Amino acid sequence: MNIAFYSAAAGMMAYQNKLDVTANNIANVNTTGYKSKEVSFQDLIYTDMNTKVEGEHKVGHGSKVTAVDTVFQQGVLERTDRELDFAISGKAYFAVDDGSKTRAYTRDGAFQIGLNQGTAYLTTESGDYVLDGNGARIRIPFLPGTNTPDISSIQEKIGLYTFANPFGLEDIGGNLSRATADSGVAALVPNTEQNRLISGALESSTADTATEMVHMIEAQRAFQMNARIVTSADEVEEIVNNLR
Give the C-alpha distances (Å, rounded to integers) separating 11 from 1, 5, 17, 18: 16, 10, 10, 11
Residue pair 129/96 in contact by the 8 Å Cβ criterion: yes
Residue 47 clears pLDDT 60, i.e. is over it: yes
DSSP summary character for residue 126: T
- C-alpha 70/C-alpha 165 separation (Å) is 11
Which of 18, 20, 70, 39 lies closest to 207, judged by CA?
Answer: 70
Residue 41 clears pLDDT 70, i.e. is over it: yes
Helix ranges restricted to H, the chain: 3-27, 151-157, 209-243
- Has this prediction a pTM greater than 0.95? no
Kindly report, residue by residue over 86-95, the tens digit of the pLDDT.
999 999 999 9
For 78, what's the count of Cα atoms within 13 Å in the CB-facing half-sphere? 14
Kindly report, residue by residue over 105-125, the tens digit of the pLDDT.
999 999 999 999 889 999 999
pLDDT, residue 237, reads 76
Phi, psi of 224 (to 5 degrees): -65, -40
- Give the other-Cβ count within 10 Å of 16's Cβ: 14
Give the C-alpha distances (Å, rounded to integers) separating 135 from 65, 131, 138, 200: 36, 5, 9, 23
Kindly give the pairing relationship between strand 129-130 and strand 112-116.
unpaired
pLDDT, residue 114, reads 94
pLDDT, residue 107, reads 96
Longest pairwise C-alpha distance within the chain:
94
Residue 21 clears pLDDT 80, i.e. is over it: yes
Mean pLDDT, the chain, rounded, equals 88
Tell me the pLDDT band of 101, cut-offs 50, 70 and 90: confident
